[in-house]
Structure 1
Amino acid sequence: MEFIRRLFNISKKSNDSWTMFSTSKAERKGLLVSMGEITIGDDFLKIENYPFEPSIAYKQNIFKANQIDDIDVKSYPPTFRIGNEIVFLESDKKEILEVFAAKNGVKTVERSWIWGWILEPFLDTEYTAETDQRLTKLLESHGLTAGQVKSIRAEVETQMLKYNFDTMLWEWGGFDASDVLKAMRTKYKKDEYEDFYRRVMEIALLSIKTAE
């Protein structure tokens, strides 16, 4: 498996603190936290037990349709946007959300997979030089320099490796912003996580600026 090759590569880095399966049971549980539950009403969405404390969805349960800027039912998981923040929803509700959006006149969009491109090196699959070149071009087209991407990946690397391999998730298909938020919530203190959360949202919504 790809993680075996990665394990030997990581072990050569003296400044990397990650060791395979060293994550505590308590942290593993926190890494795989539930995304909460959603109730879809006629003209509202109700979200309970949302895991990300900096989010508006952690403080507010009910979102009326006229509060929602747009819904992305193509993403995994689906999301809706309020201002400069996206909220992640349960993946099995895509069809119902599409009906909800159409019924209430909520704009539907397909946001670029920016965090998926950033996090691809941490999947359980081969990451080639050709893949890196392709993703670098995609990320540059959305306003992120190669240096910025390198810095972000260095910041989240250990936690993403814990998230994918120490939990035995073995994800190979793709990550998104919700994955990195889960991974980093067990590392940062409250104020650090709030800052990180804000940065994740800014990057996740870069496609809106690119389209303008």
Structure 2
Amino acid sequence: MTVTFGPDHIVFAGYEFPWASVHPHGVLPASAVRDASTQVGPPEIRTVSGETLFLSWDDSAGLAGFCRRHGISVAGRLDVWGNLFEPFLDTSFSAAHIAATDARLHAVGLSQSSIDSIRARLTPLMRAYNFDSMLWDWTHLGLYDLLRALNGTLVHPSLPATLGDPFEVYRWAMEIADYGRAKAS
């Protein structure tokens, strides 16, 4: 995946997620960018429509400059998927930490029932992605990891199909990611 920063747009080439608006090649006008994150990884663009698009680490400085030139906010927000996926990390958390994570998710509008339902739906996929694959990530899993798993990275190709229509799952994942919009991470 590569991007080129034009005077008033970003050109995506070889975008790896087939459900994205810019797959495999696309142009995103500056006016379609709501905000971005350049300090967490990988760098992200959030579109006006609520889609999160990823860039490579090498594009962080270019993204920051593009945002400055166009008055686009480089904002922190709660990493909803990072919080949802804590149970799938190769580590353990105290009861207080788990309660604090759930409180952050409640603060952005997710009920405990929703949290539990989302985690249950994705347990087979994320366990396969992090544990069965022997990735053993113990620091962070987020939306990017979910999309990689849905794309068949590190999981058996039949596993993502159990979640339903991949375009619908992608849309659902973007909606959940956007719960963090108004919150700083």
Shorter chain as normaliser: what TM range? 0.7 to 0.9
**Which residue of the partner structure matches residue 197 of structure 1?**
170
The whole-number CA distance in structure 1 between the counterparts of 2:131 and 2:57 is: 22
Q: Specify which of 118, 134, 137 is matched with residue 84 of structure 2.
A: 118
| Aligned-partner Cα distance in 2 for 1:56–1:65 | 15
Q: 1:190 to 1:154 in 2, by over 3 A?
A: closer
The CA deviation at 1:202 is 0.7
The gaps in structure 2 that reach 5 residues or longer are: 153-159
* Structure 1 residue 106 corresponds to structure 2 residue 72: yes
Paired-residue identity, %:
30
User: 2:78, 2:95 → 1: CA distance?
Assistant: 22
2:103 to 123, 131, 137: 137
Task: Give 1:45-194 correspondences, 5 Å limit.
Answer: 45-58=10-23, 60-82=25-47, 83-186=49-152, 187-188=160-161, 192-194=165-167
Q: Secondary structure at the match of 1:159?
A: helix
Q: Where does residue 155 of structure 2 map in the other structure?
A: none
After superposition, give the CA deviation of every residue in 1:26-72 in whole Å (9 maximum; x if it has no partner): xxxxxxxxxx2222334322212212222111165122223322222
TM-score, length of structure 2 as denominator length: 0.84
Instruction: Give the superposition deviation at 1:182.
Output: 1.7
Query: Which moves more between the two structures, 172-181 or 59-68?
Result: 59-68
For the structure 1 residues 112 and 54, does the alpha-carbon distance in structure 2 shift closer, same or farther, using more than 3 Å as the test? same
Contact 2:14/2:25, CA 8 A, preserved across alignment: no
Residue correspondences, number: 176
CA distance in 2, matches of 1:125, 1:190: 26
| Paired letter, 2:62 | I
Of the two, which has the highest radius of gyration?
1
How far the C-alpha of 1:191 sits from its partner, in A, is 5.9
| CA distance in structure 2 between the aligned counterparts of 1:117 and 1:75, rounded to whole angstroms | 14
Return the alpha-carbon distance in structure 1 between the equivalents of residues 38 and 137 of structure 2: 21
Structure 2 CA distance for partners of 1:210 and 1:97, relative to 1, 3 Å:
closer
**SS of 2:82 mapped into structure 1:** helix
Question: Is the alpha carbon distance of 1:181 and 1:101 closer, same or farther for their aligned partners in structure 2, counting shifts above 3 Å?
Answer: same
Match of residue 9 from structure 2:
44
Instruction: Note the aligned Cα RMSD (angstroms).
Output: 2.2
Change in Cα spacing, 1:190 to 1:113, as seen in structure 2 (3 Å) is closer
Measured in 2, the distance between the counterparts of 1:118 and 1:206 equals: 12
